[in-house]
Structure 1
């Protein structure tokens, strides 16, 4: 009987020991938070197709902000710029000509119209002067006098209209025509500005300091429009991604600093929290472990103070332990 009790006691102790080894890591808070380095590359491309004339960088190069990256053959865009410049010059000439008015040879037509209208008005006035006294004597009916008066009034109106047309031609085009000419000039200049901007687009510069992650085309190869030519990984787009248990989330906030470690890195590295996911998730398989499995966690991103490589695993010290 004693032996059976002893055996049962030993089995119970063994069961408690196994349960402690399995459950203790899951019930106790983790010593570190598992994570990794994530990088968001910029894929640099040109809005026009053409042969790659020059590649100023290669894979693995470090670049500074504003450094030249590549150049697409500018022949096609240069031709478009020349055409746009010619259109601007033509539109400006038309607008200037609209403000000058008609030339002397062209004004002669308006002078002839005025002279013809004045001649018709003189004839109508002479006819009116002949009919008026005869109508007063009763030789002509009153209707005849009214017709002569109407003919003279119409001839006088034609003279006034011809003179106004001649004056408008001498002073310049109408305001509507001038505005239309100015609009054509503005449109041509906008086209020229767009072409010059395209010249900048075919020879872009690095928008920020970083590393060339990959180069997809070499000089001489034909590059389709909007096809990435290289991938640039800016230093400010490399960040830590780690996962915080739900119970400890209140200790984290954007702007706070965390300590982390990685293989081959210097001691005492820090990162500033920039983002906390508003949605919980279960521990991703990429950081799956016995201590972390089945935990409800929140994704946290932090900007490191040193240059790291994407995919590199890191261990982040929990804030409650860092205090």
Structure 2
């Protein structure tokens, strides 16, 4: 019985070895992958002024678009400063308008009356001068009286000219220098008002880019100190892949080259474009090393994913090594048949003895 089982066991063992060898030769080749992980540059959004948190429009994990409202601090102090700045603008504008228009109508009326009085005095002096001149010419009045009349006429003429110039100046308005100073005061007041409005906008910041809210550090009603982050935002354009390349294949990974990677939870392979390559080698970081790679020198490579939405910092990724393809290796001898080979291992049955 044992003589019968031994050949059978030997055939089964050899058959198993043959099947394993056939599977090993024809199995699909494993792709060569490079280990890495996702990194992100977080934005910490804060307000430059202290105050209570009045409104919170987002929560951790929310998606936001550029321009979306995030949070707002109390604006009571800013409202008071804005009212003060607006009052300063109104006052400066009123001064400028007054400088451009000249003196008030009542003041112009006073000057006009003074001019009319000066005109009357001048006319009277001219009449008296004419009368005295005729009398002097007749010889009935002395020359000294004519000189007095002439001096009075000249004085009246000078007074009339002076008041006329004052009235013209009052009607023209302020001088150019005064108007320029008033215009500068208006500009300064408007700039102060714009500064207050800019501070108001900083109390209710908007999302600078599309991304995901990573964390919220305060609740509505809590006091927020100046420049203390309220929200951590991870923009989509700040997410990148960091993986490590062995020195022999480094020339393949130039900036601008496209690579393919996979990650846990990714439904299908994704693509990324290399943005930078480290100039100095390093040992494989402990966060990703294995027994086979922990002692190797590698170069850090960063790449920007084509679709970064949904990728989280710290998430491990596998980058398909460049120059590698996933193909099934065919056996060199396409005519080799394992079944025929197994049949050849079975010993032939002994022939029956010939009858005498």
Whether 1:311 aligns to 2:314 is: yes
Counterparts in 2 of 1:164 and 1:36: CA distance versus 1, 3 Å: same
Number of the residue aligned with 1:38:
39
Shift of 1:200: 2.2
Query: For 1:272 and 1:161, how far apart are their aligned partners in 2?
Result: 84
Say whether the 8 Å CA contact 1:240–1:304 is kept in structure 2.
no
Name 1:49's counterpart in structure 2: 50
Task: Give deviations 1:156-198, integer Å, cap 9, x for gaps.
Answer: 8887566434322221011111111112112222222222232
Matched with 1:243 is 244
Distance in 2 of aligned mates of 1:65 and 1:308: 18
Match runs of 1:165-184 below 5 Å:
165-184=166-185
Query: What SS class does the counterpart of residue 201 from structure 2 fall into?
Result: helix
Spell out, residue by residue over 1:89-132, the C-alpha distance to the aligned partner (whole angstroms, 9 max, x if none): 1111111111111124434675698799999999xx99xxx9xx
Q: CA deviation at 1:64?
A: 2.6
Residues 219-276 of structure 1 deviation map (CA, whole Å, 9 limit, x = unaligned): 1111122221110112221111112233323222333221112234323222222x21
Q: Provide the rounded CA distance (Å) in 1 between the counterparts of 2:171 and 2:70.
A: 57
Partner of 2:194, secondary structure, is helix
Q: TM-score, normalised by structure 2?
A: 0.65
CA contact (8 A) 1:66 1:208 kept: yes
CA change 1:110–1:245 in 2 (3 A) is farther
8 Å Cα contact 2:258/2:273 also seen in 1: yes
Give the drift of 1:284.
4.8
2:302 aligned to which of 294, 300, 303? 300
8 Å contact kept, 1:259–1:271: yes
**Unaligned residue ranges in structure 2 (runs of 5+):** 1-30, 137-146, 327-356
Give the structure 2 partner of residue 142 of structure 1: none
Question: Which structure 1 residue ranges, 4+ long, deviate > 6 Å from structure 2?
Answer: 111-122, 152-159
In structure 2, C-alpha distance between the alignment counterparts of 1:211 and 1:61, rounded to whole Å: 6
Higher helix content, 1 or 2: 1
Instruction: Quote the offset at 1:212 in angstroms.
Output: 1.2
Aligned partners of 1:285, 1:268: CA distance in 2, in Å?
24
In structure 1, what is the equivalent of residue 60 of structure 2? 59
- The alpha-carbon distance between structure 1 residues 160 and 255, as it changes in their structure 2 partners (threshold 3 A), is farther
Q: Look up the SS of the partner of 1:212 in the other structure.
A: strand
Other structure's SS at 2:255 match: coil
Distance 2:64 2:156 in 1: 83
**Cα distance per residue 1:127-147 (max 9 Å; x no partner):** xxx9xx9xxxxxxxxxxx9xx
> For residue 291 of structure 1, what is the aligned residue in structure 2?
293
* Bigger Rg, structure 1 or 2: 2
Distance 2:306 2:317 in 1: 11
Relative to structure 2, which stretch is displaced further, 253-262 or 31-40? 253-262
CA–CA distance in 1 between the matches of 2:175 and 2:159? Answer: 20
Native 8 Å contact 1:262 1:313 kept in 2: yes
What's the TM-score, normalizing by structure 1?
A: 0.71
1:251 to 1:85, Cα distance in 2 relative to 1, 3 A: same
Aligned residue number for residue 280 of structure 2 = 280
Q: Which residue of the partner structure matches residue 70 of structure 2?
A: 69
- Partners of 2:244 and 2:298 within 8 A in 1: no
